[in-house]
Amino acid sequence: MWGGGGGLVEYRSALLASHGYTVLALEYMTPKSMAGKEAQVGNQYFEAAFTLLKEHPQVCAERIAMFGLSFGTSVALGMTVYSPLIQPRCLVCVSGSHVQPVQGSLSDVFKEISKNAHKTRYDAENRVIWRDLLLPIPVDPNKKVDVGQIQCPVLLIVGEDDQNWPASESAKDMEKMMEEAGNSHLLTTLSYPGTGHLIEMPYTPHVRSSNFIIVQTKQKVVVLWGGEAKAHAHAQEHSWERTLVFLEQQLYSSGEHAAQ
């Protein structure tokens, strides 16, 4: 699942498919109904997608992973913890956060984020910095996913210079919550200095900033994603290698949960 920019983004799915995986790329920010109108997205939408993949004849129903990038991480974590129908074998979460209203809809999440719009910052080139909108990480358990309930292995990929989401702060809080709950053995965190938000495929260009259209308002802005070219390029290559190893261990292993 892609992030808050919306659209059907398939290149990562295509690359995973080239490694032999059956992959479903899911559009969820601006999906269309059969009538051509924007569909209302709730838990049932994600549960239907998971069930579709689970019932596919070329898929092993008990060996399905969820992969989320940016806001897709929030969705993946929320669905894994609170949906009775979505039970992935493992999770891969890139540049995201667990901060969101408990069991809230997508609109609820964005309403909560919009309350902190005054925390938006701009750099000297007038590029938008949004990372403060989720800071400080709340202590109220109703405002973040209870990752202590997660029962499957999680690979968390974090850029320490992420200017869009507080990925590092979120990762530390998730680690703390899982440690207190006794399931920290399921968490593997890859944290990369000098790395921004858009941790993409290896050998693709480092995008420090770019145009971005806000789905809700259609406003066009220039967003600062962060990262330094050399460090970011290393993170993209290393994290992808580790992702492939992680997926192979979790989806091909005969054990209940492969060792980290």
Q: DSSP 3-state helix, strand, coil percentages of the chain (rounded to 5)?
A: 35, 15, 50
Indicate whether 74 pLDDT > 60.
Answer: yes
Q: Rounded mean pLDDT of 44-72?
A: 94
pLDDT confidence of residue 32: 62
Least confident of 54-68, 97-111, 234-248: 97-111
* pLDDT for 35 beyond 60: no
223 by Cβ neighbours in 10 Å (0-12 / 13-18 / 19+) ranks as buried
Higher local confidence (pLDDT), 259 or 141:
141
Mean pLDDT of 106-133: 91
pLDDT exceeds cutoff 50 at 61: yes
Q: How confident is the model at residue 260 (pLDDT cuts 50, 70, 90)?
A: very low
Q: Does 44 fall in a domain?
A: no
* Residue 31: band (very low, low, confident or very high) from pLDDT cuts 50, 70, 90: low
Say if 12 falls within a structural domain.
Answer: no
* pLDDT bracket for residue 36 (50, 70, 90): low
Q: State how far the Cα of 242 lies from the Cα of 213, in Å rounded to an integer.
A: 31
Q: Are strands 128-129 and 121-122 parallel, antiparallel or unpaired?
A: antiparallel
Output the DSSP codes for 35-94. Answer: TSSBPPP-HHHHHHHHHHHHT-TTS-TT--EEEEETHHHHHHHHHHHH-SS---SEEEEE
The answer to whether residue 93 is domain-embedded is yes
**Is 30 a member of any domain?**
no
Closest by CA to 196, choosing from 131, 117, 114, is: 131
Q: Tell me whether residue 157 is in a domain.
A: yes
75: in domain:
yes
Domain limits for position 185: 58-252
What is the model's pLDDT at position 102? 86
Domain total in the chain: 1
For residue 5, being part of any structural domain is answered with no
Residue, of 73 and 4, whose pLDDT is higher: 73
Q: Is residue 189 part of a domain?
A: yes
> What is the model's pTM?
0.91
Q: CA gyration radius for the chain?
A: 18
Mean pLDDT of 188-199: 98
CATH code of the domain in which 144 resides: 3.40.50.1820
* pLDDT mean over 26-30: 84
